[in-house]
Amino acid sequence: MVSKTFLWIEDCKGKSAYTFWKSFINQLRPEIVVESKKNSSELVKAVKNLKDIENKYVIIFDNSFDNLQAVMELKLLKHYADEKDNVVIVDIVCFEYILLEFRDLITWIYAPDDEFLVKRSDSIAAREKLVNSITSGEWSYKDIQEIMEYDKNIEEHNIEQLAAKLLFDLTRNTGFEVSKSTIGDCWVKSCCEWKNRMENDICGLDDGRLLLFDKMKKLYEGTSLKEQLAGVGLEVSR
């Protein structure tokens, strides 16, 4: 019998993260089976109780490094995964951060003369500083002036909360809008299939529209997913 590869995630079906991962994998590695474990605790338990040794299990678990509960759960998850030869973990900060770090994010969601480029300049600057900080390994992002100015309650937020807030503020009122519960059509459909699109809704892809496969391939190549997925044997070659 041919073995299968499963992608286990902590996000509930219907939520934005689940919708993204399902679409991403279906486009780039359609042979992989995506399964939701509903939440982080259930995902940890699923790995702990896994008996199957024939198939491969790839785990996506948010590494929210300044969230104590997430850090403790990740420690447990790694312990259980190390006990099994067919379980590997993809190390990402969180789903929202993957989209934030995408190198073409701003040029996709805004047209060159979009007024949002001015109105959201503080959010754009905070995003750039945050990504540069995390990429360089200097995780003391709460000390960065542009981020402090953007988020007046920065001390109350962890990296996942900040990333979610920042991504929403950058994408709201566009076809790329992302919240915890919903993800804009422009992330998970080919251009231009946004059902609520108005005549004046012009994004940075308006003059170079992409099929969904091409969007997902560019996300793969323009984020840390390329390195992280290759590290667990999930390269994308086509």
Ordered by start, the domain boundaries in the chain are: 5-93+218-231, 97-211
Neighbours of 135 (CB within 10 A): 10
Element (H, E) at 34: strand 33-36
- Sheet-wide strand order for 5-9: 33-36, 5-9, 56-62, 87-92
Q: What is the predicted pLDDT for the residue at 150?
A: 97
Q: What is the predicted pLDDT for the residue at 193?
A: 85
Find residue 108's DSSP bridge partners.
Answer: none
- The answer on pLDDT for 201 being more than 90 is no
Q: Which among 166, 174, 170 has a CA at the least distance from the CA of 148?
A: 166
Report the distance separating Cα 115 and Cα 117, nearest Å. 5
Q: What is the predicted pLDDT for the residue at 175?
A: 94
7-19, pLDDT tens digit by residue? 999 999 999 999 9
Query: CA distances (Å), 105 to each of 85, 109, 110, 216, in order?
Result: 37, 6, 9, 13
- The answer on pLDDT for 200 being more than 90 is no
164-199, pLDDT tens digit by residue? 999 999 999 999 999 999 999 999 999 988 778 887
**Tokens at 186, concatenated:** 């422009």
71-116, pLDDT tens digit by residue? 999 999 999 999 999 999 998 999 999 999 999 999 999 999 999 9
Buried/exposed 147-186: b ≥16 CB within 10 Å, e otherwise: beebbeebeebbbbbbbbbbbebbbeebbbbbeeeebbbb
109-160, pLDDT tens digit by residue? 999 999 999 999 999 999 999 999 999 988 899 999 999 999 999 999 999 9
**Tokens at 220, concatenated:** 């793969």
With respect to CATH, is domain 5-93+218-231 assigned 1.10.10? no
- The answer on pLDDT for 238 being more than 80 is no
What is the band of 44 on the pLDDT scale with cuts at 50, 70, 90?
Answer: very high
